[in-house]
Amino acid sequence: MKIEDLKLFVQVAGYLSLREAALHLNMQPGTLSKVVRRVESYYQQALFVRIGKGWQLSPAGKTLLARSNELLNINHDIELELGQPQRTHMRISGADGLLNHYLPALVAPLQEYDHELTLATFKDPGVDSLLRYQVDLALVATNGEPPQIQGIKTKLLAQVKFVLACNSSHPLAKRESAIPITEILEYGFIVPSSNIYGDTGSLLSNDGWHDEAFARRIVARVDTISALASLLKTQHWLAYIPEYLLDENQLSILTSHGCPYTCNQFIWLCCHQKIQYGWINRLF
């Protein structure tokens, strides 16, 4: 039994169907199906029971999941304490925006050390994947203090301010003076339909905007940074975005008055406290 197969089994077991698992793990359903069949063949046990279009773990599957987690945790501790014995393989989670912006800077120093570096990303705005040992690192946004979780250490990467943005051809782009918030709200907004920036401190919006006080006319909802940037660059729409997206997409910033609210994030790199050696420790 290959330990990599057990790792995939543990990850697949957390989803409601093979198709959902393949989508979130960025793998082909056929590839995951082969892994499941290999593990079932090895132990001569059915690990999943189909329910409609989904599945759930069989009694044997639940037993194997518990034992696999124990085994993988031990293996993970060994690799953390002694360093991974083979090429560097970075597994990192974060919100879409954080992975897009911060990942290149994290990969660059590791590539200098190991040109055979491989990488796997997982969309998770929190530390759940890190706590389940599905990733080695997590990019996490907070409104101030780092995540206070036992056994997790953090490193501050940046402090980010959110700004009003549009493309250079937008009617408001040439205004040099601050624009009344009432005038800004006359234009359509693009907003995230999911948590693509990480925690913004708001329970009412995914971009930290206070819609309860300054209701926007929402014309588009998107769930990726690429879709938001593409629309923002080509349409006469506005968006409230982290400032690092301005230069990356050649966008204009708008200054407003009449709104007392701002959104600020602190970006943290998180890993397990027990790390003493290896490539993860070098990043810290």
First to last CA, the chain: 34
At residue 112, φ and ψ (nearest 5 deg) are -65, -30
Element (H, E) at 142: strand 137-142
Residue 12 contacts residue 36 (beta carbons within 8 Å): yes
Q: Pick from 89, 111, 107, 88: which is nearest to 99 by CA?
A: 107
Q: Which residue type occupies 161?
A: K
Tell if the pTM clears 0.75, that is, is over it: no
pLDDT, tens digit (0-9, with 9 covering 90-100), for 163-175: 999 999 999 998 8
Tens digits of per-residue pLDDT, 253-278?
999 999 999 999 999 999 988 776 67
In tens, the pLDDT along 78-92 reads: 776 665 555 678 899
What pLDDT does residue 200 have? 92
Please spell the DSSP secondary structure of 154-190, one letter per residue.
EEEEEEEEEEEEE-TTSTTTT--SPEEHHHHTTSEEE
Q: CA 245 → CA 78, 161, 208, 252, distances in Å?
A: 39, 11, 15, 10
The residue ranking higher by pLDDT, 115 or 111, is 111
What digits encode the pLDDT tens for the residues 194-227?
999 999 988 889 999 999 999 999 999 999 999 9
Q: Which residue has the tokens 């995230």?
A: 192
Angle CA(47)–CA(49)–CA(54) in degrees, nearest 5? 120
Tell me whether residue 161 is exposed, middle or buried, using C-beta atoms within 10 angstroms of its C-beta: 0 to 12, 13 to 18, 19 or more: exposed
